Chain A
Amino acid sequence: NAGVTQTPKFQVLKTGQSMTLQCAQDMNHNSMYWYRQDPGMGLRLIYYSASEGTTDKGEVPNGYNVSRLNKREFSLRLESAAPSQTSVYFCASSGPPPLRVDPTDTQYFGPGTRLTVL
């Protein structure tokens, strides 16, 4: 049980290049999310997917697209990277936590992708 996995771990792009960040979860969760984390700004939601086949914009969607490929996989694409997109990107999924009395959904985060756009 790997939880939430992300690839790649690190990436350097030049302005205008494109790339896709991959995310997969093996917890059979319906909901998946993409966040970016910048110093002093906390975690900001880019896009989320409440279930397979649906996606919705979050707080900072401009410059990004997403694809919910199946229940396990949720990818984030930068079509034309800009220096303002330099950040650490986290994928997460949510579902009922095991072994907890409180059944409220819990988010599980991947290890992150550190992206630098030159």
Chain B
Amino acid sequence: QQQVKQSPQSLIVQKGGIPIINCAYENTAFDYFPWYQQFPGKGPALLIAIRPDVSEKKEGRFTISFNKSAKQFSLHIMDSQPGDSATYFCAASRIRGSYIPTFGRGTSLIVHP
């Protein structure tokens, strides 16, 4: 059973475009939603994260939108650059207890120059 569903599986945009990656979760006990960025040949690295007490969080060109009632959250990359080409993973976890995030299956993003 896939607890965090991520879409699309792949995404191609032109430089300056705004790619959007969507995730949906099932477990209402999740209360922390990080996004990870992974470049080829590297391990994932935390990009940005949100808690459900806010509907939006921005860090530079990256924005998370969160819809608690729909149990959905999304990553927007403003003014995308070729250097943003990577695989992006959403995740969901509980803050209390052992930190064990459940990951989405990933989105491969390519930004053309």
Interface residues of A (CB under 8 A from B): 4, 31, 33, 40-45, 48, 50, 58, 90, 92, 94, 97, 102, 104-112
Contact = CB atoms under 8 A, between A and B. Distances in A.
Interface in B20-35: 32, 34
Nearest to A49: B98
From A43, A50, A92, name the one whose CB has the most chain B CB atoms within 10 angstroms. A43
Contact of B99 (A4, A58, A107, A112): A107
B106 A106 contact: no
B27 to A, nearest CB: 14
Nearest to B104: A42
Contacts of A107: 34, 36, 44, 46, 99, 101
Interface of B: 6, 9, 32, 34, 36, 41-46, 49, 51, 89, 95, 98-101, 103-106
Contact of A90 (B32, B43, B104, B106): B43
A42 B6 CA distance: 10
Contact of A31 (B42, B46, B98): B98
A42 B103 contact: yes
A102 B42 CA distance: 25
Nearest to B4: A42
Contact of A50 (B41, B45, B98): B98
Contact of A43 (B45, B51, B89): B89
From B6, B43, B103, B105, name the one whose CB has the most chain A CB atoms within 10 angstroms. B43
A12 to B, nearest CB: 17
Nearest to B97: A50
B43 A31 contact: no
Given A42-B89, A43-B103, A94-B99, A104 B44 contact: no
A104 B92 CA distance: 13
B43 A106 contact: no
Contact of B43 (A45, A97, A102, A112): A112
Contact of A109 (B34, B44, B104): B44
